[in-house]
Amino acid sequence: MALDLQAPALAPAARESSKLKRHFGRFDILFFLICTIVGVDTIATVAASGGEAFTWMVVLAVVFFIPQALLFSELGTAFPQEGGPYLWTRMAFGHLAGAINNFLYWVTNPVWLGGTLAFSGAYALQVFFNDGKSFSTPVFYLITIPFIWVAVLAAVLSFRVGKWITTIGAFARFLLLGLFVVTVAIYAAQNGVHGLSAGAYVPTAGGFVALVGVLLFNYVGFELPSSAGEEMKDSTRDVPFAIARSAVFSFLLYAVPILGILLVLPLGQVTNFGGFVDAIKTVFTVYGGQVTKAGPELTGAGAAIGGVMGIVFVICVLTSGVTWIMGSDRALAVSGYDGAAPRFLGVISERLGTPVRVNIFSGIVSTLVLVLANTITGGDAAKFFGAVLGVTISTTLISYLLIFPSLWKLRRSHPDVPRPYRMPAYRILTVVLMALLAFTVVQLMAPGAFFDWFGKGFHPDGWSADEGGVYLLTELVPVVVFIVVGVLFWVAGRRTRRDNEAMAHDLEKSTGPVFR
């Protein structure tokens, strides 16, 4: 069988992929992955669940994080074409499944950028530069809307330039989390340890239900650089290298700060939204300031260092959005010239080598999400954060329900494709990954299902126990709408698919079977 890796969309793919340039090296991929996986906006969400959060984080690192890394090491090296996660799903299950799944995979990111990331950045500025007082609605939008469009601009830039933004983001994480851990140690030496008892670290079923969504959300993303597979210098060597090292760095960058928060701060002081920013302000009083009944107050060097770290925090959440927009926008553009989305979206800029049209589309969706979510929740910070984060996590994880098993299917449908790296025990590990995902999606839609749906300890912050039906709708309706849009994208790509099939047929007659 002749292998033509451009065959899935012969003429369109050749035309668009010819505009791509190979700027993505080994360490670029490593830093990109650190930005992708380490999201500082959810650190406090995990720590707020107490000691067992750390225990479950370790357990899921073994049964989910590591198997996922092995899975994407194989897919990323065996099928290194542009559009990675979309292409794998489409090759395994067809254009309709690829269209729906890829829209779910893509839309998560503008929702996340315009929701929790923009809000988290604004909250950090509020804490360090506005004495913790809420911004007025006009000021809130003056901060958050430029935040969104700076991220979009970064994604529009050529990868030759854009990759340095993600590198800066990775080092911002090293600086922020490293200084936080050191400061936690100083704070503990001065004020004592409020650590939890050993019993607090014992895992429970209720704790697992409450935590599994955000922990899995924190742990996904190894596939994202493969969305730019044809922009990598050497995917065969660099993908496994970057995944292995980023897995170690990412786990430590999550685990050590979370453990520090649990050991030093009273659990009641850690909240889901903004909790990490509040924790930073509290421990940074060692440089100048004090903790009062009204909360921490920074003065002198404490205020100066805190302000710098507030800006670094904003850089961290901004670059989280940038990496995901860069990757998912490329996947959507590939689906556009492969017949699973409107052809209009499947265009790569000749000058920049980036999917500018999709980037702008992401910015528009992010802005709409920001305005709608803030309006619907009436500016209620906790409800805003919880509702948008819930939709973001559920939509993200649903998309992996087809991405993960694509490895199994492609092992059977494309056995002759060279696999420089092969996932061990792939059947068992894929089943484990799928079972965890399915259980988690149910819990995200209906918190506490099978236990005590929306009961005490299960409903998100800002929601009361009698609002379960409303919450279910806020989670379910967007997903249904996204699936419908995915189907419409598939319909819109019909002509492109027909043209591609005709071209593939003509090529097969002249050269023999091609890779599809």
In order of 98, 337, 488, 510, the CA distances from 499 in angstroms are 18, 11, 18, 17
Say if CB 333 and CB 346 are below 8 A apart.
yes
In order of 206, 213, 390, the CA distances from 447 in angstroms are 10, 10, 10
What is the DSSP secondary structure assignment for residue 459, as one 8-state letter? S
CA proximity to 236, closest of 422, 405, 412: 422
Question: Distance from CA of residue 385 to its chain's centroid?
Answer: 15
- Domain parsing of the chain, residue ranges: 22-503
Say if CB 219 and CB 246 are below 8 A apart.
no
Strand partners of residue 472: none
**Cα pseudo-dihedral 112, 115, 117, 120, rounded to 10:** -150
Element (H, E) at 131: none
User: Contacts from 292-295 at CB under 8 Å and sequence distance 24+?
Assistant: 295/132
Angle between helices 381-403 and 426-445 (to 10 degrees): 150
What is the DSSP secondary structure assignment for residue 377, as one 8-state letter? T
Say if CB 416 and CB 76 are below 8 A apart.
no
SS3 149: helix
Q: Which two tokens stand for residue 288?
A: 């100048």
SS3 20: coil
Residues of the chain with pLDDT under 70: 1-14, 194-198, 266-274, 377-390, 457, 459-464, 504-516
**In whole angstroms, what is the distance from residue 37 CA to residue 159 CA?**
19
Question: Distance from CA of residue 76 to its chain's centroid?
Answer: 18
DSSP string across 298-333:
E-HHHHHHHHHHHHHHHHHHHHHHHHHHHHHHHHHH
Amino acid at 500: N
Other residues' Cβ atoms within 10 Å of the Cβ of residue 287: 18
pLDDT of residue 509: 60
| Strands (DSSP E) found in 240-308 | 289-292, 295-298
Other residues' Cβ atoms within 10 Å of the Cβ of residue 367: 20
Other residues' Cβ atoms within 10 Å of the Cβ of residue 431: 13
Amino acid at 460: P
pLDDT of residue 9: 41
Strand partners of residue 232: 24
Say if CB 396 and CB 220 are below 8 A apart.
yes
Angle, vertex CA 413, rays to CA 412 and CA 419, nearest 5: 70
Strand partners of residue 289: 298
Other residues' Cβ atoms within 10 Å of the Cβ of residue 202: 11
Residues 6+ apart with CB under 8 A from 501: none
Torsion-angle region of 221 (φ positive above 0: left; ψ -120 to 50: alpha; else: beta): left
pLDDT of residue 229: 85
What global pTM score does this model have?
Answer: 0.88
Amino acid at 314: V
Position of tokens 């909790």?
275
SS3 361: helix
Q: Which two tokens stand for residue 76?
A: 């990323």
pLDDT of residue 274: 64
**Cα pseudo-dihedral 443, 446, 449, 452, rounded to 10:** 120
Say if CB 107 and CB 332 are below 8 A apart.
no
pLDDT of residue 485: 96
SS3 422: coil
Say if CB 318 and CB 311 are below 8 A apart.
no
What is the DSSP secondary structure assignment for residue 272, as one 8-state letter? S
**In whole angstroms, what is the distance from residue 180 CA to residue 38 CA?**
15
What is the DSSP secondary structure assignment for residue 366, as one 8-state letter? H
For residue range 156-195, list pLDDT tens digits in order.
998 888 889 999 999 999 999 999 999 988 988 888 776 6
Q: Assign domain 22-503 to its CATH architecture.
A: Up-down Bundle (1.20)
CA proximity to 386, closest of 376, 397, 400, 401: 376
| 321-334 residues labelled b (16+ CB within 10 A) or e (exposed) | bbbbbbbbbbbbbb
